[in-house]
């Protein structure tokens, strides 16, 4: 129930109670008493509903806030880690590909926090933040970007050395062509499908990927006073490169299917 609908229903019911009760308050009619009683029950039910809804909304907001804090931390760590990526490219500009901010795609809800962390981490690592390209994927394509969309976006920014994708890789991966361009940028993935990522890492098409650690607990607030950022990150995420992809695949094969 929306807030506006709830408010209108409660206000209308209360107004109806006053309209009926005030002129007929001395009436002994069973119908009148029953009707007033029904209105009172409805009002009390609406008030009770609002209290319960507020309690659950507060808890949900707390969970979302914690999750966004983890996403911001992951973005910052990723940005800092890129200074160690084996990329022989003098271009320090970074492009981010993301869903539209108001998209209903589940992953889009936390991208603002991820980008906030990335900006901080990239700056610390000596990279220059170039731009964010937001693309609405086709629903008929299961919310995946097409290879053509991917190529078009990346080729718009020839001065970029690294592209960080918050939307995964295209579904028709073999149709991607920008990799064949002269001096193409390197890709970094935040989330998304990791199928065939091992090959992309070995050929240095993708230099790194971040995904959630299976079984990680995101319900507790990340406490940087007790644990270091790196420790919190390692307890919740996996940073995958060509050096560790085989080990991670052996330990968590489900991630790569």
Please state, in angstroms and rounded to a whole number, the distance separating the CA atoms of residues 178 and 195: 20
Residues 220 and 165 in one domain: yes
Domain housing 8: 3-58
Residue appearing with tokens 């420790």: 231
Based on the fold, state whether residues 45 and 95 are members of the same structural domain.
Answer: no
* Helix-then-strand count for the chain, H and E: 7, 6
- Do residue 54 and residue 147 come from a single domain? no
> What are 45's two structure tokens?
């039910």
Boundary-marking domain end, from 40, 58, 76: 58
In 3-state terms, what secondary structure has residue 193?
A: coil
The strand pair at 186-190 and 160-165 is best described as: parallel
Residue 167, pLDDT above cutoff 80: yes
Enter the pTM of the model: 0.72
Strands (E), 14-159: 93-98, 128-134
Specify whether 20 is located in the same domain as 88.
no
One domain, residues 142 and 202: yes
How many other C-beta atoms can be found within 10 angstroms of the C-beta atom of residue 38?
Answer: 12
Q: What is the mean pLDDT of residues 98-127?
A: 82
Note whether 8 and 120 are same-domain residues.
no
Is residue 81 a contact partner of residue 116, using CB atoms and an 8 Å limit?
Answer: no
Question: What is the rounded distance in angstroms from the CA atom of residue 16 to the CA atom of residue 67?
Answer: 44
Residues 109 and 9 in one domain: no
The dihedral through the CA atoms of 41, 42, 44, 49 has a sign that is: positive
**pLDDT for 223:** 65
Q: What is the pLDDT of residues 168-200, one digit of tens each?
A: 888 777 888 998 888 889 899 998 778 778 878
What is the spatial order of strands in the sheet that 237-240 belongs to?
A: 128-134, 93-98, 160-165, 186-190, 206-212, 237-240
17 and 75 housed in the same domain:
no
Given 38, 58, 78, the domain boundary residue is 58
| Percent with pLDDT over 70 in the chain | 66
Three-state DSSP state, 218: coil
| Domain match, 75 and 127 both | yes
SS3 at position 207: strand
Ramachandran class of 225: left when φ > 0, alpha when ψ lies in -120 to 50, beta otherwise: alpha
Q: Note whether 176 and 197 are same-domain residues.
A: yes
Residue after which a domain boundary falls, among 22, 41, 58: 58
* Total number of domains constituting the chain: 2
Question: SS in 3 state form for 50-80?
Answer: HHHHHHHHHHHHHHHHHHHHHHHHHHHHHHH
The domain spanning residue 217 has which CATH number? 3.40.50.2300
81 with 192, same domain: the answer is yes
26 and 151 inside one domain: no
CB 217 within 8 A of CB 202: no
Using the predicted structure, report yes or no on whether residue 221 has a pLDDT greater than 70: no
């Amino acid at each position: 129930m929306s807030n506006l609908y709830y408010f209108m229903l409660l206000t209308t019911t209360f107004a109806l109670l006053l309209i009926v009760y005030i002129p007929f308050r001395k009436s002994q009619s069973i119908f009148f008493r029953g009707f007033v009683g029904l209105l009172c029950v409805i009002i009390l039910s609406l008030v009770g509903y609002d209290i319960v809804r507020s309690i659950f909304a507060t808890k949900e907001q707390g969970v979302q806030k914690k999750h966004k804090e983890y996403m911001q931390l992951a973005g910052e760590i990723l940005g800092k880690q890129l200074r160690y990526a084996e990329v022989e490219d003098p271009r320090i500009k970074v492009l981010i590909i993301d869903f539209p901010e108001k998209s209903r795609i589940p992953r889009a809800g936390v991208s603002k926090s991820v980008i906030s962390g990335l900006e901080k981490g990239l700056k610390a690592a000596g990279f220059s933040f170039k731009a964010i390209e937001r693309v609405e994927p086709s629903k008929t394509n299961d919310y995946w970007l097409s290879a053509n969309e991917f190529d078009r976006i990346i080729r718009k920014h020839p001065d970029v050395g690294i592209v960080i994708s918050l939307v995964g890789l295209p579904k028709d991966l073999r149709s991607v062509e920008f990799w064949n361009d002269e001096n193409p940028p390197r890709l970094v993935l935040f989330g998304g499908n990791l199928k065939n990522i091992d090959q992309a890492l070995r050929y240095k098409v993708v230099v790194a990927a971040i995904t959630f650690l299976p079984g990680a607990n995101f319900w507790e607030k990340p406490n940087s006073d007790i644990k270091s950022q790196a420790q919190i990150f390692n307890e919740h995420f996996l940073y995958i490169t060509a050096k560790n992809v085989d080990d991670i695949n052996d330990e968590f094969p489900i991630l790569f299917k």
